[in-house]
Structures are given as structure tokens and as C-alpha cells.
């Protein structure tokens, strides 16, 4: 009986937080009200429950409740080998499946010591499909953000253009969302014949569409009034909460792992790192977070054009090219701890591996999802705002609950 009453060191922080939460609810004054936003709510971008403590229309405190979409990714990773885990990485941030797989695969390849042997054509194909997926992810972020604010047309335009990208990725991998395309040591298959040409046609079509989308929202006075000077995230607060990706860069910090770590073939590619400048309001506000994503789409277009130039030129397909030539039948690693990270559309995605001897099944795989850290700053941003502004703040964070709950 005594064992059941003893709190372990891991349980103590949870118990303390629970007691503080219960005490806060018990101390609610007569003029305050508790409102549940979610877990089934169109503005929460998934099954997220936000418990608001309000005084009239003013939000005094926000308490996020997670765990409605637990994907068991880390438990899956402990029960199957590295190759079989890749389809489960797709299901974390299911809007950026290629990027998830790329980060996971890079870690295993580095532990195997074959990362320097991957053919350049494979690396450029990986970057190409990841940047296509980055554009698709940002289009959803911008489109759904517009509809959160009350603009319906951007939502339709973004999903129209995203459909072209999904068709191309389906052509390459056989799946529309969960691709399982990037493998340890290579790829599931080479790009289909004619893929480079069709992708170039899409870029030609998409460039003027991106200008139209930019003009529709960026300078729209209603959109500016709903996002400028709302949810301001100072750079020091962003760092302290572990924010990354567009959330961090919108606060004025030029931090992009594609440049900082220089993984894959990104050091060979020219592109800029957009940051927030407070052009419509204050640096780090909702408008800046939106604008950084729009600018990142432009940079992804540049990266895709450079990849297509190399894949159609010096790295063009040859009959003897085998994208599975280095795919190991079994991944046997010495016992080690290893952390790998990559720049996903939403920020830094990291995998911490703990391997074990004489087996290709890891002892532990801990995923560091950017959406989880980015969402953790919401209570800080939401203090003293209107309920309507809370919707704008949450939408500007761009979360996916499959990655938050994992």
C-alpha cells in the first residue's frame, strides 16, 4: 500500500502542476468565467482544448489541454526496426511527411556512417520533395489562417494550388499525404519520367498565383487590423520557450537549420532566410508570422528551381542509377546516443536515438516536435487579449496536433 502513495521524481512536476491548476480554478472570482474552446472547435486546428479564464471579452489566462490525439509514435519506434518506423514519422506532422522522414533518415544514416556516400541525385530529390511539401504545408497555414480571420477566398486559392503539389507527390510516391518515400540509404523509387518537366510547369504556373495571394492578404487593411500588433512574441521569450521555425524568425532571429547545420545539399543552394521586420505593426506579431511563411514559399520556389536545374542537367537520370543501392537490409548499430535535427515547415524537428547492441530495434526514440514547443508559448501571448484575438494568435502559431501529442 505504501508504494502506491510514493510519488516518483517524474510524477512530482505533474502533481504540482495539477494542484496549481486546481487551485487556480478554485480561486476564480465572481466576475470571471471559464470557457472551453474545443476540443471540437473549428479554430483549434485539431482536437485541442483551450480552457479560457475570461473577464467579459478579455482573456485573463489560457490553459491548453493536450492528449486527445495520442499517436504512440515513440512506443511504435521501440517495437520495430528503423525502416519500419519511417511510415510512422509521416503521421506526426502529417502536412509535412517528407520533411519528417528526411530528418529521421538522416539520423540513422549518420549513425551508420553512410551519410557521405548518398548519391547527389538522391539528395537533390530529397530536397526537392521536401521543399514541395514545405510549400504545401505553408499554403494550409495561410489558407486556414485567412478563414480564421474571416477571409474565405485565400482558403480556396491555397487549397487549389496545394492540390497540384499533392498530385505530384502522389505521382512520385504513390500516396497523397503519408508518403514513405525517403528511405534509409536512398529512396523508395526514382522520380517518374517527366516529373522534372511537370514540376517546372507547376512553378511557372504558381509564381503569379503567389503574387495574387500575397496581394489579397498582405496589404488588406482588414487583415492587417486583425493581425498587426496582436500576439507580439519578443525574441527573448521565443528563445526561452524553445520556439523555432517561422515563430522564431518572425521575432527577428535569423535561425534556419538548413543554413545553421547545412545538412543534405542545402549548402550548395542559394536562398534567403526571411525574418519579421514589423512592417505592418511590431516585430513578432501575428502579421509577421504570416508574412514570414509567405516569404518562405518564395524561397522554396527558388530552391526547387535550382534542384530541377541540377536534376535535369548534371544529375539527370541514367539507366544504371539505383535509388535503393545503399538501403541496408538490416541496421545494426553500436550502442550510442545520437540527436539529429532538421528544419521542418513548423520549426526544428529532432530525434534523439538510444540504440542497443545486436538488434536493429532502437531502445528509445524521442521526438522533439516544433508544434509542441511553439504551442507552449500561447498562454504567454494570450494574457489580456480579446477572445477574437486569441483565435488570430492560435492560427498564427500553425500547429498540427499529430505532432503535439505524438
% pLDDT > 70, the chain: 97
Number of neighbours of residue 249 by Cβ within 10 angstroms:
26
Please give the backbone phi and psi of residue 383, each rounded to the nearest 5 degrees, phi first: -70, 120
Q: What is the per-residue pLDDT for 158?
A: 95
Please report, for residues 58, 190, 394, the alpha-carbon distance to residue 145 in angstroms, rounded to integers and kept in the order given.
Answer: 22, 35, 9
Cα–Cα distance measured from residue 214 to residue 202, given in angstroms and rounded to the nearest whole number: 18
Peptide bond into 39 cis (omega under 30): yes
For residue 34, what is the enclosing H or E element? Answer: strand 33-37
Q: What is the per-residue pLDDT for 238?
A: 96
CATH level 3 topology of 117-326+376-405 = Cytochrome-c3 Hydrogenase; chain B (1.10.645)
51: CB partners within 8 A, 6+ apart: 34, 35, 36, 37, 62, 63, 64, 65
Q: What is the pLDDT of residues 355-368, one digit of tens each?
A: 998 888 999 999 99
Span 321-333, average pLDDT:
89
299: CB partners within 8 A, 6+ apart: 271, 272, 273, 274
Task: For 142-156, give the DSSP string.
Answer: HHHHHHHHT--HHHH
Q: What is the pLDDT of residues 271-318, one digit of tens each?
A: 999 999 999 989 999 999 999 999 999 999 999 999 999 999 999 999
Q: Which range scores top for mean pLDDT: 5-14, 17-26, 320-329?
A: 320-329
DSSP 327: -
Q: What is the per-residue pLDDT for 348?
A: 96
Q: What is the per-residue pLDDT for 2?
A: 43
Q: What is the pLDDT of residues 124-165, one digit of tens each?
A: 999 999 999 999 999 999 999 999 888 899 999 999 999 999
136: CB partners within 8 A, 6+ apart: 95, 96, 162, 165, 166, 169
Which class for 338: exposed (0-12), middle (13-18), buried (19 or more C-beta within 10 A)? middle
Q: Compute the mean pLDDT over every residue in the chain, rounded to the nearest whole number.
A: 91
Rg, Å, the chain Cα set: 22
Is it the case that residue 7 has pLDDT exceeding 70?
Answer: no
pLDDT class of 3 with cuts at 50, 70, 90: very low
Q: What is the per-residue pLDDT for 6?
A: 46
Span 374-401, average pLDDT:
92
329: CB partners within 8 A, 6+ apart: none
Break the chain into its structural domains and give their ranges: 117-326+376-405
Q: What is the per-residue pLDDT for 357?
A: 85
Angle between helices 195-217 and 120-149 (to 10 degrees): 30
Q: What is the pLDDT of residues 211-234, one digit of tens each?
A: 999 889 999 999 999 999 999 999
Q: What is the per-residue pLDDT for 232?
A: 95
Q: What is the per-residue pLDDT for 332?
A: 82
Q: What is the pTM of this model?
A: 0.93
Is it the case that residue 42 has pLDDT exceeding 80?
Answer: no
Rounded to the nearest 10°, the torsion over CA 331, 334, 337, 343 is: -30
Q: Which range scores top for mean pLDDT: 24-28, 45-49, 94-98?
A: 94-98
C-alpha cell at 367: 521526438
Is it the case that residue 55 has pLDDT exceeding 90?
Answer: no
Please report, for residues 134, 200, 316, 379, the alpha-carbon distance to residue 302 in angstroms, rounded to integers and kept in the order given.
Answer: 13, 11, 19, 36
Cα–Cα distance measured from residue 148 to residue 160, given in angstroms and rounded to the nearest whole number: 18
Q: What is the pLDDT of residues 69-104, one digit of tens each?
A: 887 888 889 999 999 999 999 999 999 999 999 999
Span 184-202, average pLDDT:
94
Please report, for residues 122, 180, 203, 306, the alpha-carbon distance to residue 200 in angstroms, rounded to integers and kept in the order given.
Answer: 18, 24, 5, 11
Q: What is the per-residue pLDDT for 5?
A: 45
* Alpha carbon 205 to its chain's center: 26
Span 17-35, average pLDDT:
77
pLDDT class of 4 with cuts at 50, 70, 90: very low
Contact of 23 with 40, CB cutoff 8 Å: no
323 φψ region: left (φ > 0), alpha (ψ -120 to 50), beta (else): alpha
pLDDT class of 21 with cuts at 50, 70, 90: confident
Q: What is the pLDDT of residues 259-275, one digit of tens each?
A: 999 999 999 999 999 99
238 φψ region: left (φ > 0), alpha (ψ -120 to 50), beta (else): alpha
Amino acid at each position: 500500500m505504501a508504494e502506491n502513495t510514493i510519488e516518483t521524481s517524474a510524477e512530482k512536476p505533474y502533481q504540482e502542476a495539477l494542484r496549481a491548476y486546481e487551485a487556480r480554478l478554485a480561486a476564480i472570482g465572481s466576475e470571471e468565467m471559464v470557457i472551453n474552446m474545443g476540443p471540437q472547435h473549428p479554430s483549434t486546428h485539431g482536437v485541442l482544448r483551450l480552457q479560457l479564464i475570461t473577464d467579459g471579452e478579455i482573456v485573463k489566462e489560457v490553459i491548453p489541454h493536450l492528449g486527445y490525439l495520442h499517436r504512440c509514435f515513440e512506443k511504435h519506434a521501440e517495437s520495430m526496426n528503423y525502416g519500419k518506423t519511417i511510415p510512422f514519422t509521416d503521421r506526426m506532422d502529417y502536412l509535412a511527411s517528407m520533411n519528417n522522414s528526411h530528418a529521421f533518415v538522416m539520423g540513422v544514416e549518420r549513425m551508420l556512417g553512410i551519410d557521405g556516400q548518398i548519391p547527389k541525385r538522391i539528395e537533390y530529390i530529397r530536397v526537392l520533395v521536401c521543399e514541395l511539401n514545405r510549400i504545401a504545408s505553408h499554403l494550409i497555414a495561410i489558407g486556414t489562417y485567412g478563414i480564421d480571420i474571416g477571409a474565405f477566398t485565400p482558403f480556396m486559392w491555397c487549397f487549389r494550388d496545394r492540390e497540384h503539389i499533392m498530385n505530384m507527390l502522389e505521382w512520385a510516391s504513390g500516396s497523397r499525404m503519408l508518403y514513405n518515400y525517403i528511405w534509409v540509404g536512398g529512396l523508395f523509387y526514382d522520380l517518374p519520367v517527366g516529373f522534372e518537366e511537370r514540376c517546372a510547369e507547376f512553378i511557372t504556373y504558381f509564381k503569379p498565383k503567389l503574387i495574387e495571394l500575397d496581394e489579397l492578404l498582405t496589404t488588406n487593411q482588414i487583415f492587417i487590423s486583425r493581425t498587426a500588433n496582436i500576439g507580439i512574441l519578443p525574441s527573448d521569450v521565443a528563445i526561452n520557450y524553445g520556439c523555432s521555425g517561422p515563430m522564431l524568425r518572425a521575432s527577428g532571429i535569423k535561425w534556419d537549420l538548413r543554413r545553421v547545420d547545412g545538412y543534405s545539399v542545402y549548402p550548395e543552394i542559394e536562398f534567403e532566410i526571411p525574418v519579421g521586420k514589423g512592417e505592418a505593426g511590431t516585430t513578432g506579431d501575428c502579421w509577421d508570422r504570416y508574412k514570414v511563411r509567405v516569404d518562405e514559399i518564395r524561397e522554396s520556389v527558388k530552391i526547387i528551381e535550382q534542384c530541377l536545374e541540377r536534376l535535369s542537367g548534371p544529375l539527370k537520370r541514367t539507366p544504371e542509377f539505383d535509388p535503393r543501392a545503399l538501403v541496408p537490409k538490416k541496421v545494426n548499430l553500436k550502442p550510442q546516443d545520437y540527436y539529429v535535427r532538421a528544419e521542418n515547415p513548423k520549426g526544428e524537428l529532432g530525434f534523439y536515438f538510444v540504440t542497443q547492441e545486436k538488434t536493429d530495434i532502437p531502445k528509445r526514440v524521442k521526438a522533439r516536435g516544433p508544434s509542441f514547443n511553439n504551442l507552449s508559448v500561447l498562454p504567454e501571448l494570450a494574457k489580456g487579449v480579446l477572445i477574437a484575438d486569441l483565435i488570430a494568435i492560435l492560427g498564427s502559431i500553425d500547429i498540427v496536433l499529430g505532432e503535439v501529442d505524438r
